[in-house]
Homo-oligomer: A and B are copies of this chain.
Amino acid sequence: MEPEELISSETRFAGRLLRLRVDTVRLPGGQVSRREVVEHPGAVAVLPVLPSGELVLVRQYRHAVGRALLEVPAGTRQPAESPEACARRELLEETGFEAGTLRELARFYVSPGWANEELIVYLATGLVARQPQPADDERIAVEHVAPERVPELVLKRDIADAKTLVAVLGYLGLHLV
């Protein structure tokens, strides 16, 4: 499928986390269109599974959506940090666990119509308990969740974000219907 040809690009916002640009593009048919694009450095998430089979999730208030969610530990990628190093760092900071083994579970764009954020989800096993080290502006409550409770948490919408749904559905092989 032919790409769109970039005619011009204007950065309209450059913040601490996000950049926003408005691109003018020419479609293969010749038509000119306008695309609003949010640039994000990318993120990683980790589904940590204890030897008991329980999942280690984190509950935190999310200002952008105005509520608390139960999520897999996750964070934004730092420049010059490998995704695996980022996953280990976020897991330790948010839950206090060191991962023995990381295995890539999924890699996806969160909303490719308008954002370039790519998110990699790892499965973490061989967990070793250390001390949580939350970032200054994060308030996080760690919860150990038995796999059989997941369908109820999805139904109640305690679990209600893309990365956590992809992680638990893909790991547990759950049916939503």
Task: Name A residues whose Cβ lies closer than 8 Å to a Cβ of B.
Answer: 1-4, 12-13, 15-18, 20, 22-23, 25, 27-29, 31, 33-38, 40, 43, 59-69, 71, 74, 76, 103, 105-119, 123, 136-137, 139, 141, 154, 157, 160-163, 165-166, 169-177
Contact = CB atoms under 8 A, between A and B. Distances in A.
Nearest to A40: B114
Given A13-B20, A16-B34, 9 more contacts: A18-B36, A27-B137, A38-B115, A40-B111, A62-B109, A65-B112, A105-B177, A111-B111, A170-B177
Nearest to A25: B63
Given A13-B12, A108-B165, A169-B169, A114 B18 contact: yes
Given A106-B165, A162-B109, A20 B17 contact: no
Q: How many copies does the complex hold?
A: 2
Contact of A171 (B63, B67, B171, B175): B175
